[in-house]
Amino acid sequence: MAELRDARVNPPTVPVVTETGAIKDITVGKGIGGAVVFSGGKFRVGEAWKDKGWKLLRDHYLDESDGPGWQRYEQYRDALAKGQVAPGFPDKFLPKSVLKLRQQNPKDDAAKPKFEDLVADKTPAPKGK
Amino acid sequence: MANETTLTSLAELVTPERLTQIILEEHRPASVFDLVSWRIDVSANPATTIVIPRWDKSDVPAGTKAETDEFTNVEATTSESTITAGVVGLSRELTDPAAQDAGVRAEQLIRMNLRGMAERLTSDLLALHTSATNASDFNGTNLDLDKWGTATAAFHAQYPHMAGMARVAVLSTNAVRDLKKAIRNAGGAIESTGRGLGLLSNVEGGIFMFEGYTVIESGLVPQFDATNDSNALMVVGTDGDRVGSALARGIWWDVKHELDRHPKKQTTDIVTSARYGVAISDQSNLRELITKKAA
């Protein structure tokens, strides 16, 4: 992987899912101590970020045995880099685990359930006198 | 009229083109690595990695001690960041005929290499924005004054080491465009205080002050994804023995240039290299600010 440090080209970026379900591009290169490192022939999330709940998008797909889904995402990134498609990967093609993270971590309070809605079904009805 | 002496008449004497004595520099984003990072020189004490330890916060226990009790011990712990070295460089091979006929000297290529290396170091450092574990995620929306306020407040709530340090916002050209728009649209109140005036006349690579932050506009801000930028709020600087800089660059060897002569080929290799690594030295002193690219 000598090309990782070729000064004439940009280092690769690897899509990573954060603890809230956001997908971000992490730049990876020897000497760049970011969230993703390249070692032993593969990319992996650094320990400190792993502890926060970050995970490679590829691993989300593979954990759901959805290899073709990951290939579709790579196809999207490739087409995007060549300017062949408009930005925006459809949510329906994302791993279920990523969508679940997003559902559990909405960006604003308005999208969160109210406490009364959470407990409404579980709280026993008051006993009548 | 006939038989005028024209350019055609004197064709053999006409110089077809004349180069200026000055070669204009290439266009590239400004290199701001020195403005955003802490330099750790390990050239004299090299090891493969640099470890930056820091104290974890441990609090005084709640309550009070009863007269006959003993205090409960509070463990002091540390965390660390590490920087791993990588060799970055490039080589150019200049042939003697090219050097002679084009009048190009090795030092001209060296200067260009130096500018390229500075850009690369800046790019590597700013790439760390996306590895910040604290983020104000406004993806899909443009930066405005409210979002700026929300993000800076959230940053301050991380208790970054700001005392005696510089607060810096490294913004993409897109984000600066949107902040300028917000200031213009805010009208007289903001401009009468002078708060936004520096920003309005800023250029890429330029620096201006806005609400106590040194704002640096950089074309090297990384992308969060295809449609959003990964800007950052950070602390930069040192104050005596205290270090506040969120980003660190470990230097094993600084940029050096070497010439390698090949008499059999009649060429010269011009090799420029540096051995360095970059890392986030303290996550609490950094906050990613995600904003939309398009206007």
Least confident of A24-28, A100-104, B132-136, B190-194: B190-194
pLDDT of residue B172: 96
The range of the structural domain enclosing residue B122 comes to 33-47+81-292
ipTM, 2 decimals?
0.80
CA distance B66 to chain A (A): 38
pLDDT of residue A12: 85
Residue B218: Cβ within 10 Å count: 25
* B256 domain-assigned: yes
- pLDDT of B232: 98
Structure tokens at A83: 């300017």
Q: Is residue B4 part of a domain?
A: no
Residue A1 pLDDT: 36
pLDDT digits (tens, 9 = 90+) for A41-73: 789 999 999 999 999 999 999 999 999 999 999
Residue B72 forms part of a structural domain: no
> How many Cβ contacts (< 8 angstroms) between chains A and B?
85
Residue A2 pLDDT: 37
Q: Which residues of A touch B131 (CB under 8 A)?
A: 26, 33-36, 49
pLDDT at residue B184, rounded to an integer: 82
- Does B249 contact chain A (CB < 8 Å)? no
Strand partners, B70: none
Whose structure tokens read 């400190």? A48
Tell me the pTM.
Answer: 0.86
Alpha helices in chain B (DSSP H): 33-36, 96-102, 106-126, 145-156, 173-186, 188-192, 197-200
For residue A110, count other CB atoms closer than 10 A to its CB: 6
Per-residue pLDDT, A42: 86
Pairing of strands B267-280, A32-33: parallel
The verdict on a CB contact (< 8 Å) between A25 and B120 is no
pLDDT at B189: 60
Q: Does A49 touch chain B (CB under 8 A)?
A: yes
Cβ within 8 Å, pair A34-B131 = yes
- Does residue B10 lie in a domain region? no
A7 neighbourhood in chain B, CB within 8 Å: 88-90, 116-117, 120
Whether residue B70 lies inside any domain: the answer is no
Residue B261 lies inside a defined structural domain of this protein: yes
Q: What integer pLDDT is reported at residue A45 of this predicted model?
A: 95
B4 Rama sector, left if φ>0, alpha if ψ -120 to 50, beta otherwise: beta
Provide the pLDDT for residue B57: 87
Of B81, B139, B277, the CB nearest to A31: B277
Is residue B3 domain-resident?
no
Q: What is the C-alpha to C-alpha distance for residues A73 and A71, in angstroms, rounded to an integer?
A: 5
Q: How do A36-39 and A42-45 pair as beta strands? A: antiparallel
Give chain B's domain count.
Answer: 1
pLDDT-derived band of residue A7, with 50, 70 and 90 as boundaries?
very low
On whether residue B71 sits in a domain, the answer given is: no
Burial environment of residue B128 by CB neighbours within 10 A (0 to 12, 13 to 18, 19 or more): buried
pLDDT of chain B, 295 residues: tens digit per residue: 788 999 999 999 998 888 887 888 899 998 999 999 999 999 988 788 899 998 888 899 888 989 999 998 999 999 889 999 989 998 999 999 999 998 888 999 999 999 999 999 999 999 999 999 999 999 999 999 999 999 999 999 999 998 889 999 999 999 999 998 888 888 666 655 555 556 666 667 677 888 889 999 999 999 999 999 999 999 999 877 888 899 999 999 999 999 999 999 999 999 999 999 999 999 999 999 999 999 9
User: Closest to B86 (Cβ–Cβ): which among A8, A30, A34?
Assistant: A30
Say whether residue A78 is in contact with chain B using an 8 A CB cutoff: no
Q: What is the pLDDT of residue B61?
A: 86
Considering only alpha carbons, which residue of chain A is nearest residue B83? A33
Residue of A nearest to B91 (CA): A7
Least confident of A104-108, A124-128, B59-63: A124-128
